[in-house]
């Protein structure tokens, strides 16, 4: 198979059980033709993706962060934003206010800014997972400062007891179901983004603005609910064995799970 763009989700797809790139995966991606862009696409912030790009030696390729909410191109001295879709700041402030009667953790993200109210269990866990240290700040003050810059969060992540996340999800769905996409990767995790974006829509924007190819010429790998549209929409969508059934149902191909180098095994079959 000849494809003109390689695209992969990170957590649960590309990384192993230690949340690292295995030597086999690195070698397999480096075997892809030099002229084929290699694009990482994730719910992560850009800073949590750059060290992986460095390992793969693809620092000049763009990346898609926040499930499609931000596309950054690194060809020049400074990254250029090809797409930025934020959550209205008023909604972010309302989530912060809602949490005053609850005890879940709230993280606010904009580009490479990540703010947490305290270095609690959840903040430390994400720090360990992503290799990025958050900034501790009063989230009300963060919202006020962002308002002076006329920006909002690319992502809000709330983590805590399942019951509290249930209550938050019910609140958001009742008020903002037409504006927000609420993605629950686990019972204790809720990732909030603008409803206008998805990994597939961001991939379409990237191709339109930068590459001479079509979605039918893209190979993409994924594992979770936020990968379904992308896996279904590209020319060759691959689901790892640990993927959700919804991802497997729309994939063109299944491979082994992430901890057994599923992505590498597919690439090796193309680039022996």
Are 186 and 203 found together in one domain?
no
Are 170 and 104 found together in one domain?
yes
Are 138 and 100 found together in one domain?
yes
Q: Which residues are registered as beta bridge partners of 186? A: 189
b/e per residue, 129-158, with b = 16+ CB within 10 A?
A: ebebebeeeebeebbeebeeeeebbbbbbb
Are 93 and 187 found together in one domain?
yes
User: Which residues are catalytically annotated?
Assistant: 9
Q: Write out the two tokens for 4.
A: 């003109």
Last residue of a domain, one of 146, 174, 194: 194
Are 206 and 228 found together in one domain?
yes
Are 136 and 214 found together in one domain?
no
Asked whether the beta carbons of 53 and 61 are under 8 A apart, the reply is yes
- pTM score of the predicted model: 0.95
Pairing, β 155-159 against β 105-110: antiparallel
Q: Write out the two tokens for 105.
A: 């953790």
Last residue of a domain, one of 138, 170, 194: 194
pLDDT in tens, the chain (272 residues): 689 999 999 999 999 999 999 999 999 999 999 899 999 999 999 999 999 999 999 999 999 999 999 999 987 778 999 999 999 999 999 999 999 999 999 999 999 999 999 999 999 999 999 999 999 999 999 999 999 999 999 999 999 999 999 999 999 999 999 999 998 888 999 999 999 999 999 999 999 999 989 999 999 999 999 999 999 999 999 999 999 999 999 999 999 999 999 999 999 998 87
Domain tally, the chain: 2
Decide: helix, strand or coil at residue 82.
strand
Last residue of a domain, one of 137, 160, 194: 194
Domain that holds residue 25: 5-84+197-270
Are 71 and 98 found together in one domain?
no
């Amino acid at each position: 198979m000849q494809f003109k763009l390689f695209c992969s989700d990170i957590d649960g797809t590309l990384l192993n059980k230690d949340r690292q790139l295995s030597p086999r995966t690195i070698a397999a991606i480096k075997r892809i033709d030099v002229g084929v862009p290699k694009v990482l696409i994730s719910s992560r912030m850009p800073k949590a993706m750059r060290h992986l790009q460095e390992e793969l030696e693809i620092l000049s390729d763009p990346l898609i962060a926040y499930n499609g909410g931000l596309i950054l191109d690194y060809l020049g001295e400074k990254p250029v934003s090809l797409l930025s879709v934020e959550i209205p700041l008023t909604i972010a402030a309302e989530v912060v206010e809602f949490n005053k009667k609850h005890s879940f953790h709230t993280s606010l993200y904009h580009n490479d800014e990540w703010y947490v109210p305290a270095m609690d269990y959840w903040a430390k866990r994400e720090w360990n997972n992503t290799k990025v240290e958050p900034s501790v700040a009063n989230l009300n003050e963060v919202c006020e400062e962002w308002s002076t810059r006329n920006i909002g969060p690319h992502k809000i992540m709330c983590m805590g007891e399942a019951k509290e996340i249930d209550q938050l999800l019910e609140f958001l769905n009742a008020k903002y179901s037409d504006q927000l996409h609420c993605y629950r990767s686990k019972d204790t995790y809720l990732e909030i983004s603008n409803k206008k974006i998805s990994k597939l829509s961001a991939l379409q924007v990237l191709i339109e603005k930068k590459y001479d190819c079509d979605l039918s010429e893209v190979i993409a790998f994924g594992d979770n609910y936020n990968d379904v549209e992308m896996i279904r929409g590209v020319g060759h969508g691959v689901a790892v064995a640990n993927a959700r059934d919804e991802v497997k149902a729309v994939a063109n191909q299944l491979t082994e799970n992430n901890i057994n180098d599923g992505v590498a095994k597919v690439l090796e079959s193309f680039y022996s």
